[in-house]
Amino acid sequence: MIGKLKELFGGKKAVKERPAYYDIVCPYCFSKFHPEKVVFRAAHHRTDDEAYMLQEDELLSDYREKFQLDRTGDMEAVINPATIPQENKIYTDNVLTGISDKYSVVTRKRLCPNCHNNLPSTAGKFPSNIVSFVGATSVGKSVYLASLIHTIQNTTARNFNAACIPLDNKISERFRNNYELPLFEEGELLTSTRSTQRQEPLIFQFKFKDDTKAPLTLVFFDVAGEAMTDTDYMELHAAHIKNSAGILFLVDPMQIRSIRSRLLFKMGENPGEVVAQGADPRDVAISLYENFISHEDNGKTGIPTAVVLTKSDLLHALKEEDGDYIRPNSNVFRNVVHRDFLNLDEYENINGEVRRFLEEVDSPFVDTMDVYFNEASYFAVSALGSNPIDQQVTGVINPIRVDEPFVWLLHKLGYIEGGRSQ
């Protein structure tokens, strides 16, 4: 009681004690495990010891085959630390980070015990935070993903005194060649991810220049849209959503039946890139419920979820001064840059406006979100700033509010503060 009174009348709040370690969520297979359960890649090999000979890593090969990648071939052996004496184990910040093997050779190459992919150096020392992308087919996940990461790396990170760094050179090269170069330098619209294309996650670390702040591991998993309503596929990938720290739930205006025909009519004879009618946004929410939310307490999830209305530039076709949907001076059409903190005035404005818009055009979806999600906020973004024509982006790419949902997630996860406009 005394402590509570001190807090109410200006006393210091109790500082939340940092845990000695954190459970690890593998950024590749999304399994969750205690830091002591990691295994290690040997730092050398021997021809006179079968356990240390070069050999194929069956678990890693099986993982790679899921993504149509080559098997590993011969590589250094995997060492289970349970076979290593306690005095030969190396700990950093209470986390097992290395071992000295029976030949006194030290290795610090920690692997996931379930898929044998390399773990980030921060695994176990800080929370594992995964950001999942969900949405129906052709909602624009790949394009938004490219625009979001590009913006985070070039603008957002600097605005929060941080850097956004790929986990390794392979991921850096894959993002640049498959996402960034085609879109930002060649102006080519990225093709939709198909369920037959198994995409490895794109893993980045959002590291603050202030060493006292924990880094944020970002795992962007580009799941095929049609798979979001496929039960078998969702069962395979439900783990990455269940173990996410945040969800970006993308909604395409063209997949809202009540406004699709009106949008097409207003856009005239040259509408640009228009997707076929896919699954309703509510179908994706129901699929999420069936595969993991139904197993949560009270049948709801507490994972912060940003509902992102993509391709917001299309809504210019609906704007009317006294219309029911969008006004010409809408916040949706105005870019906002958040620096140092989440601007709560701007966030509350866009959250309220987009929620009201979706209640007007697709109230069953909003009602479903209210029932299944405890922490949902609403945003509108344009990854390109205009609608592409014939698979080509015309003019300069000028994203609108593209990083705002991510900044909100940073705030919800406790990485940045919220503040008001001066």
Domains of the chain: 25-111 (no CATH), 131-419 (3.40.50.300)
Q: Give the number of residues written for the chain.
A: 422
Question: Cα 159 to the chain's mean position, in Å?
Answer: 19
Full pLDDT tens readout for the chain, 422 residues: 444 444 444 444 444 466 788 999 888 888 889 999 999 999 999 999 999 999 999 999 998 887 778 899 999 999 999 999 999 999 998 999 999 999 999 999 999 999 999 998 889 988 878 888 887 655 677 888 899 999 999 999 999 999 999 988 989 999 999 889 888 887 776 655 444 455 677 888 899 998 878 788 787 766 554 544 555 555 556 677 788 889 898 888 888 888 877 777 666 555 445 554 556 777 778 777 777 787 777 888 999 999 999 989 888 888 887 767 888 899 999 999 999 999 999 999 999 999 999 999 999 999 999 999 999 999 999 988 876 555 556 667 889 999 999 999 999 999 999 999 87
Phi, psi of 92 (to 5 degrees): -130, 125
CA dihedral 166, 168, 172, 173 (to 10 degrees): -170
Strands (E), 46-196: 55-56, 74-75, 78-79, 89-92, 95-100, 106-107, 110-111, 131-134, 162-166
Residues 203 and 167 sit within 8 Å (Cβ to Cβ): yes
Q: Are the C-beta atoms of 283 and 226 separated by less than 8 Å?
A: no
Reduced to 3 states (helix: H, G, I; strand: E, B; else coil), residue 368 is helix
Task: Determine the 3-state secondary structure of 128 from DSSP.
Answer: coil
Cα atoms in the 13 Å half-sphere on the side-chain side of 143: 30
Three-state DSSP class for residue 190 = coil
Whether the pTM exceeds 0.75: the reply is yes
Q: Which residue's entry shows tokens 């800080």?
A: 126
CA atoms within 13 A on the CB side of 302: 5
